[in-house]
Each structure stands twice: as structure tokens, then as C-alpha cells.
């Protein structure tokens, strides 16, 4: 497997870029946040365990997340080119990937962005309930209010994109991010990306970093 992990603050654009790369290039996009939200919508045991943590803006415990990503990766062919978006979030999660030779991470891309722009990015985000396409009321507005440009699905706001939860998520991110960056920096796998730019130019730079 060829595994790239996307690191970066909530709202730094990980999901937007990973989705584009999975549509335009041969990458498989795995977002642990999307998996958890799907589990909550299904009412599964995983969803029941995760919901409280997500609603408070806290991390879901490592044992649950490591088991989830283990089972997901085990089902994929060895030839897969994978983008992990939102995993790992802790050094324990990063070590769990590396401990299995099949899932050792090839590169980690950190989406660098000033914290000041993130609250507006997150509170203005809208997502298509049908195809998952992300929009933004100001930066990427849909042509028709509340309607997805791609599939005409209706747009919704994530429950953890309210300002108070957003602020907590940013604090939680700061608590583990520098250890995670050190983990990949010391093993020469860390690549920095300027994520405070236009979507297209970020994508061009990202493709270069992933090749
Ligand atoms: P998750 O779903 O991973 O959320 P997150 O990390 O907080 O990241 P976001 O999805 O909010 O941001 P993003 O970087 O994808 O930004 P996006 O591209 O959408 O996790 C949610 C929760 O699940 C966590 O809080 C935790 O509870 C739990 N969880 C998940 N994984 C876990 C793990 N491994 N361990 C423990 N718990 C876990 O962009 C944001 C907005 O900006 C959009 O509106 C977009 O249109 C806009 N935008 C994007 N790019 C640009 C640009 N270049 N210019 C202007 N606007 C832009
Ligand atoms: Mg995301």
C-alpha cells in the first residue's frame, strides 16, 4: 500500500483536497470523520460510542479509532494508493499504522494555515447530504442557495461546526499536533503544504508532494 496521511487543523482543507484527488487521480480517500458521521447516521454501536465525543469537539478514544482504521485498511488491496484524512490524530494512532508493515505510512502532509482564518471557514461550511461535496457560504458558495452544484442534493451544516464546538476542536488539535509533526519529521516523512491559498493552487502543490 502507498499511504499518505493528511495532517492539519480542522478547516485547513484536508477533506476538500482529498475528495478532489480521489475524483481526479487514483487515490482512495478515507476520512475517519466521515466514517464516524456515517456510523452515527446508521445508529450503529460505533456511532453510539463516538457521538458524545464528536458533539463536544473531543477526540474519540484511540482504541476505537485504531480498530476502525485497522479493519478498513485490511479490506483493501495491497496495490491501493490511500489518503488518510483525519487519521492519525495522536502519536499512538501513528505508531499503530507503522507497527503493521503493510500499513506503514509513506508520507505525512501538514496543511499549514494561520489559526485566524479557521473559525470562519468552519462556521461557513455546508456539505451536500447526497454526495458529500463541501461548500462554503462565502468562499465556495453554491450556485443555488442550499443546493449542491454537482448532484442537486440539499446542503447541511455539521453539528460540530457551531462556533463553541469549533473553538474546542481547535484547542484539542493544538494539544496533539506538535507531537504528531515531530513523529513524522524525525523519520523524514513530513512535507509542509501552504494551505492558505486557492483550492486549485493547493491541489497543484499537493500533487507534487504526493508523487
Ligand atoms: P473530522 O471530520 O476529521 O474533522 P476535522 O479534523 O475537524 O476537520 P474538518 O473536516 O473540519 O476540516 P477539513 O480540513 O477537512 O476542511 P474542509 O476541507 O472541509 O473529525 C470530526 C470529529 O471526529 C473530530 O472532532 C473527532 O471527534 C472525531 N475524529 C475523527 N477522526 C478521529 C481520530 N483519528 N481520532 C479521534 N477522533 C477522531 O474545509 C473547511 C471549509 O473551508 C469548507 O467549507 C471548504 O469549502 C472551505 N475551504 C477549503 N479549502 C479552502 C480554500 N483553499 N480557500 C477557502 N475556503 C476553503
Ligand atoms: Mg474534513
- CA 181, CA 136: separation in Å to the nearest integer? 28
* Among 80, 99, 101, 77, CA closest to 88: 99
The closest residue, in CA terms, to atom 17 on ligand 1 is 13
Cis peptide leading into residue 121 (ω within 30°): no
Spell out, as residue ranges, where the chain has pLDDT lower than 50: none
Report the pLDDT value the prediction gives residue 121, as an integer from 0 to 100: 95
CB 121 within 8 A of CB 112: no
* Among 66, 85, 82, 68, CA closest to 11: 85
Report the pLDDT value the prediction gives residue 40, as an integer from 0 to 100: 96
Active site residue 104: no
Which one from 14, 20, 37, 121 is the annotated catalytic residue?
Answer: 14
Q: Which sign, positive or negative, has the C-alpha torsion 100, 103, 107, 113?
A: negative
Centre of ligand 2 from the C-alpha of residue 126, in Å: 12
CB 184 within 8 A of CB 6: no
- Report residues whose beta carbon is within 6 angstroms of any ligand 1 atom: 8, 10-16, 32-33, 36, 53-54, 57-60, 65, 86-87, 89, 93, 121-122, 125, 134-136, 139-140, 160, 169, 198-199, 202
Report the pLDDT value the prediction gives residue 33, as an integer from 0 to 100: 97
Q: Which of 12, 13, 108, 164 to mutate to test the pocket of ligand 1 (most atoms within 8 A of CB)?
A: 13
Determine phi and psi for 140, rounding to 5 degrees: -140, 65
- CA 128, CA 179: separation in Å to the nearest integer? 34
pTM over 0.75, yes/no: yes
* Among 193, 182, 180, 199, CA closest to 87: 180
As given in the structure block, the three cell numbers for residue 69 are 482504521
Active site residue 89: yes
Report the pLDDT value the prediction gives residue 24, as an integer from 0 to 100: 86
Report the pLDDT value the prediction gives residue 172, as an integer from 0 to 100: 97
Ligand nearest to the CA of 161: 1
Active site residue 125: yes
Strands laid side by side in the 190-194 sheet: 28-31, 81-85, 2-8, 107-112, 190-194
Report the pLDDT value the prediction gives residue 25, as an integer from 0 to 100: 83
Active site residue 185: no
Amino acid at each position: 500500500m502507498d499511504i499518505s496521511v493528511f495532517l492539519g487543523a480542522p478547516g485547513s482543507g484536508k477533506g476538500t483536497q482529498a475528495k478532489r484527488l480521489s475524483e481526479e487521480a487514483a487515490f482512495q480517500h478515507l476520512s475517519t470523520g466521515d466514517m464516524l458521521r456515517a456510523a452515527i447516521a446508521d445508529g450503529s454501536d460505533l456511532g453510539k460510542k463516538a457521538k458524545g465525543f464528536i458533539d463536544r469537539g473531543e477526540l474519540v478514544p484511540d482504541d476505537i479509532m485504531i480498530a476502525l482504521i485497522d479493519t478498513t485498511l485490511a479490506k483493501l488491496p495491497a496495490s491501493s494508493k490511500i489518503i488518510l484524512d483525519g487519521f492519525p490524530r495522536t502519536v499512538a494512532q501513528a505508531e499503530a499504522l507503522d507497527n503493521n508493515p503493510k500499513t506503514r505510512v509513506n508520507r505525512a502532509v501538514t496543511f499549514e494555515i494561520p489559526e485566524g482564518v479557521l473559525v470562519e471557514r468552519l462556521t461557513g461550511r455546508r456539505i451536500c447530504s447526497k454526495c458529500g461535496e463541501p461548500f462554503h457560504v462565502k468562499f465556495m458558495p453554491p450556485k443555488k442557495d442550499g443546493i449542491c452544484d454537482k448532484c442537486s442534493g440539499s446542503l447541511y451544516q455539521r453539528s460540530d461546526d457551531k462556533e463553541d464546538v469549533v473553538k474546542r476542536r481547535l484547542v484539542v488539535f493544538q494539544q496533539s499536533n506538535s507531537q504528531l509533526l515531530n513523529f513524522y519529521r524525525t523519520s523524514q516523512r513530513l512535507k509542509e503544504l501552504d494551505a492558505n491559498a486557492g483550492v486549485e493552487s493547493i491541489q497543484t502543490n499537493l500533487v507534487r508532494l504526493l508523487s
